[in-house]
Amino acid sequence: MARIRLGLVGLGKIARSQHLGAIAATPGFELVAAASRQGTLPGLPVFTSLSAMLASDIELDAVALCTPPQGRHALAAEALEAGLHVLLEKPPGASVSELGPLVARAERSRRTLFATWHSRFAPAVAPARAFLARHRPRSVAIIWKEDVRVWHPGQDWIFEPGGLGVFDPGINALSILTAIMPEPVFVTRASLSVPANRQAPIAAELDLSDRSGLPIHAEFDFRQVGDQTWDIQVETEAGLLTLASGGATLSRDGRILIDEPEREYVQIYQHFAALIAEGRSDVDLAPLTLVADAFMLGRRSTVEPFEG
C-alpha cells in the first residue's frame, strides 16, 4: 500500500499522548507536518493553522483533526475541499447536525471521513459483542468516573457549549454500549449537574433502554479522585459480564477472560488506512446522538462552582 502523507492538526494532550505514537507505530503513514497555534515538534514543520499548512508546498494525503470539537466542522470541510482524507478525534463534532454535510462532502469528493470512537477498539469490546449476540442481556450498569484535573488540565473548552463536559469521557462508555448491545438503545431520562460557573455538566446520570425495555443505568462524574472507574456491567442469562478499565479487561462472573494491553489508537490508524484503501467512510453518530438526547431530556441542577 502506498504511504499516506499525514498532517496532524492540534498538538494538545491527546495528540501527544496517543496520536504521535500511534502514527509512528502504524506502517503506511508518514507524518509530514502539523498545525498548532503554539505547539512545536522537533524535526517537523509546524504551521499556525490548517490553512497555512494547506497553502505550503508540503504534499498531503490526509489529516487527523485533534482540536477541540468546537470549530472542527470548518476544519474538516476545508480539508475535504482540499482533496484530503479526514480523521476526526472523538467526539466528531460539537453537534449532530453538522456531521451530515461533511459525510455528503466526503462522498462527493470520494474521500474518506472517519469519525473515531477509540474505546470501541478496546480488547474486550468485540468479544463482549459476540457474547451478547448469543446471551440475552437483562440489565446494564455503567459507572464512568474520572478526575477532570488529571485528564483535562486547564482545558476550559470542555465546559463550554459544544465541549460536552462530563460527556467527553462519558461518550466513550456510550460508544462501547452502542457497539455491544444487540439492539439500538435510546435515552429515557437524564439528570445533569452543572457547576454555577460553567456551561456544561460536571456529572450526569442517564437511564436508557431498547425496544424490549432493557434497563440501562449510567453514572458519569468528573470529580472522581484516587482510582478512576471506567466499568460496564451487563447482567445476562448466562451470568455477569464485566468490561473494566475502559474495556481493557473482560470477565464473566469474576473470572478474567481478557486482560490485554491497550492498542486503541494504533488500531484506529490501521482502520483509517483500510478505509482509505477501500474508498469508504466510517461515521457512526449513535454515541453523539445519545449525548444530544441527554441534553434535550436532561433535568439540570446547579452545583457548586468548579475551578479547574
Nearest to 33, CA basis, from 14, 13, 11, 12: 11
DSSP string, 30-71: EEEEEE-SS--BTTB-EESSHHHHHHSS---SEEEE-S-STT
SS3 of residue 9 by DSSP: strand
Cis peptide before 169 (omega within 30 of 0): no
Q: What CA–CA distances, in Å, run from 123 to 9, 105, 185, 231, 257?
A: 28, 33, 22, 14, 11
SS3 of residue 306 by DSSP: coil
Is 13 noted as a catalytic residue in this protein? no
Q: Which amino acid is at 110?
A: R
Nearest to 7, CA basis, from 268, 263, 19: 19
The dihedral of CA 70, 71, 73, 79: what is its sign?
negative
Alpha helices in 89-214 (DSSP H): 99-109, 125-134, 148-151, 167-180
Q: State the catalytic residue, choosing from 19, 72, 85, 90.
A: 90
Alpha-carbon distance of 305 to 302, in angstroms, equals 9
Alpha-carbon distance of 151 to 244, in angstroms, equals 18
Query: CB neighbours (10 Å) of residue 280?
Result: 12
- List, by residue number, the catalytic residues: 90
